[in-house]
Structure 1
Amino acid sequence: MFSWDFTRSVTGMRLLADFAGEHDLPLSDVLAGTRVTQAQLSDPAAIVTASQELRMTQNLVEKLGHIPALGIHVGKRYHFTAYGPLGFAIVSSRTGRDAMNVAMRYFHLTFAYTRFVVEDTEEHIRTTIHDDEVPQSVRRFIIERDSAALITALRDIFGLESMLELLSFNYEPPDCGSCYEDFFGLKPTYNANQNVALLNKERMEQRLPQANDLALEVAEKQCEVILNQRVARSGLAVQIRSHLALRAADMPAMDAVASRFCMTTRTLRRRLETEHTSFAQLRNEVRRMLADEYLLNLDLPVEQVANKLGYAESTSFINAFKNWYGVTPHAYRLRKACNRPANIDLKNEG
């Protein structure tokens, strides 16, 4: 069973509480069983677990589930400001596609319970919303909310211009189909195999008027700090990460690491899931961390960096790097160099 013990901002619970209050639902009812106090809801620095927010969600659905398209009504409240530094990183990105990359990079800082997988096709950005880990009792609500939150964020970036060209859901048509059409701006397909949103690729790749590289860099640094604080590696994950960092040039496979720690691959995967991470995620974290060090601090050639990170070819490293940051290693290094403050010789001043 999937663990929801990872932490997140209390903002998501505050949004649920505000919605409940507007529908005359006592706060005590929606907080029942969460062990979260009213004082915590009013503290912007408060941290809760995803399981606590999930319990609150279940309470809300139980009490207000009669409202048509309940998840959409809640999801359209998730404007970019709700995500803190991640929201500002998203709106500061160069393009909508870059904004998606940023969101995926720091997905643990969102309030989603579904898993987003973003892929490029010839004409579209395909976003698949996986719901297999969401409890059945709140699954439709969560799908509605997470998909509505995605569209709300896109509208914050692009204004009223619609990027959405097709939307499908894996459940039966809702009683209030017009609620879906009014919000999403099109008629979704129902009883589909997957929950999928197709976004216009050409428009998603256009430069955004509010793009700001320096603001993006500052916001991403804040995201890194928050993420490290919330999901600080402990137990097995920190051991695996250290093990991989020491062997990056000859990056070991998952089965070799499992054997080194005296367990099967299946056990290793399950243990890492309980710490809300995966072998692939830890490996990418190590490679990204070392890539920054080699490119920016040691100023190594791209080919040498690729070799030190265990890539057989520099092309493979460049492709992986573009998936992480949306730019090539060379462009990344130039951007960082341009944003560094100039050195000032104080002896010659005045």
Structure 2
Amino acid sequence: MNLQARRGTASVQLLCQLGEELGVSTAACLRDTGLDEALLADPLAEITAGQELHLVRNLVARIGSGPGPGVLAGQRYHLTSYGIWGFGLVSSPSLRSAVELGIHYLDLTFAFARIWLEEVEGEARLRLDGSHLPEDVRVFLLERDAAAIATLQRELFDTPLPQRRVCFRHSPPEDLGPYRQVFTIMPTFNQPQDLAAFDARLLDLPLPQANSHTRRLCEAQCRDLLVRRRARAGIAGQVREQLLAAAADMPDMERVAQALHVSSRTLRRQLEAQDTSFRALVEEVRQALAEEMLRAGGFSVEEVAARLGYAEVASFIHAFRRWTGITPGTFARHARAGL
């Protein structure tokens, strides 16, 4: 989890509003975050994921870390809360296309959970993973992100999407009312996975506001915004430049440390101070280069895998799906079609 990742202020505004309704002042929510109410009122301002996480911890410390409040938070996240990312979803030709766009540009949202799509035996499953999240806010953030997904699905169709099941790993709360209201069915708790599942045939339903021109425009703007937000400063930026310069023969940490005239131990410590790691930067560079080659065309999946240093194509495909939620072949087809 990159706590230095940039994001908009809409989410912290919504969380402060929830706090006020639950008896927690905005000042208490903002304590020690480095944020103030003037910044929250600026629609062009950006904060870090770490600042939002600190705010969530302030809120949860006062309302309790149990289940329930996360669902109340998630239903506040409307399509309009996400800016250009939300417009991209609305203008997509189908639910499948919207889900793939949404997952690919998930870093433009306020989600903290890792989210990906699985299709298993006629069932579409949106999986959520919060294993990397701090324990004191894990339930809140998982429920918030799951409820936000349900809210987005409802707004894409102007009606709730029929769910087969919604599952949470944690124990149920006493008050289950908000869950039925948001998810339309009662979730099951103490399950092995966090997920929302529906009939896979619904993925190919056309969206009522589909517009191919708007979709292409939104995706281009999402791509540009993501590049700007991922721009690295400091030592992380220097490491990224070294990796990009030698992408065909991706250097290890020792080589990069030598090029930057520091020890590998010092480099590791400096990257940790920026809430990242050498491995995370390697993954970031590989993803950016893979997308660039697949979007440009002229390279097969096998060639892209080889150019990025993967010994096996299957390993590259697995990594690309983990990064984007879709396979490199699907990404390339969408790029050629302008989706």
TM-score range, shorter chain: 0.7 to 0.9
3-state SS, counterpart of residue 261 of structure 1: helix
Tell whether 2:221 aligns with 1:222: yes
> What is the match of residue 69 of structure 1?
68
User: 2: distance between equivalents of 1:318 and 1:191?
Assistant: 32
Report the CA distance shift for 1:137/1:314 in structure 2 as closer, same or farther (over 3 A).
Answer: closer
Q: 1:272 offset after TM fit, Å?
A: 11
- The residue identity in structure 1 corresponding to 2:255 is R
Tell whether 2:59 aligns with 1:56: no
Q: 1:72 offset after TM fit, Å?
A: 0.8
> What is the match of residue 288 of structure 1?
291
Report the CA distance shift for 1:261/1:20 in structure 2 as closer, same or farther (over 3 A).
Answer: same
Larger Rg belongs to: 1
Alignment check: 8 A CA contact 1:124 1:199 kept: yes
> What is the match of residue 46 of structure 1?
45
Q: 1:258 offset after TM fit, Å?
A: 3.8
Q: CA deviation digits over 1:283-316, x for unaligned, max 9?
A: 1211212333x43xxxx48699758777999999
> What is the match of residue 31 of structure 1?
30
Alignment check: 8 A CA contact 2:65 2:136 kept: no
Moved more, 29-38 or 228-237: 228-237
Within 5 Å, give how 1:207-246 maps onto structure 2. Answer: 207-235=206-234, 238=237, 242=241, 245=244
3-state SS, counterpart of residue 252 of structure 2: helix
Q: CA deviation digits over 1:85-106, x for unaligned, max 9?
A: 1111111112212211111211
User: 2: distance between equivalents of 1:28 and 1:238?
Assistant: 34
Alignment check: 8 A CA contact 2:151 2:182 kept: no
Report the CA distance shift for 1:247/1:57 in structure 2 as closer, same or farther (over 3 A).
Answer: closer
Within 5 Å, give how 1:322-337 maps onto structure 2. Answer: 323=326, 327=330, 329=332, 332-333=335-336, 335=338
Q: 1:23 offset after TM fit, Å?
A: 4.2
Q: 1:318 offset after TM fit, Å?
A: 10
Alignment check: 8 A CA contact 1:237 1:272 kept: no
Alignment check: 8 A CA contact 2:67 2:139 kept: no
> What is the match of residue 274 of structure 1?
275
Alignment check: 8 A CA contact 2:122 2:201 kept: yes
- The residue identity in structure 1 corresponding to 2:294 is A
User: 1: distance between equivalents of 2:98 and 2:117?
Assistant: 12
Moved more, 87-96 or 221-230: 221-230
Q: CA deviation digits over 1:160-198, x for unaligned, max 9?
A: 242421111111121112332232122222111221221
Within 5 Å, give how 1:1-350 maps onto structure 2. Answer: 4-65=3-64, 69-235=68-234, 238=237, 242=241, 245=244, 250=248, 252=250, 257-258=252-253, 260-261=255-256, 274-275=275-276, 277-292=280-295, 294-295=296-297, 300=298, 323=326, 327=330, 329=332, 332-333=335-336, 335=338
Report the CA distance shift for 1:151/1:60 in structure 2 as closer, same or farther (over 3 A).
Answer: same
Report the CA distance shift for 1:313/1:272 in structure 2 as closer, same or farther (over 3 A).
Answer: farther
Q: 1:65 offset after TM fit, Å?
A: 3.6
User: 2: distance between equivalents of 1:63 and 1:238?
Assistant: 37
Alignment check: 8 A CA contact 1:167 1:196 kept: yes
Q: CA deviation digits over 1:324-348, x for unaligned, max 9?
A: 6885746643548xxxxxxxxxxxx
Report the CA distance shift for 1:315/1:206 in structure 2 as closer, same or farther (over 3 A).
Answer: farther
Report the CA distance shift for 1:334/1:24 in structure 2 as closer, same or farther (over 3 A).
Answer: closer
User: 1: distance between equivalents of 2:212 and 2:316?
Assistant: 23
3-state SS, counterpart of residue 76 of structure 2: coil
Alignment check: 8 A CA contact 1:291 1:305 kept: no
Report the CA distance shift for 1:30/1:289 in structure 2 as closer, same or farther (over 3 A).
Answer: same
User: 2: distance between equivalents of 1:234 and 1:64?
Assistant: 36
3-state SS, counterpart of residue 198 of structure 1: strand
Unaligned stretches of 5+ residues in structure 2? 258-263
Unaligned stretches of 5+ residues in structure 1? 337-350
Aligned-residue CA RMSD (Å): 3.6
Alignment check: 8 A CA contact 1:75 1:145 kept: yes
> What is the match of residue 340 of structure 1?
none
Alignment check: 8 A CA contact 2:150 2:182 kept: no
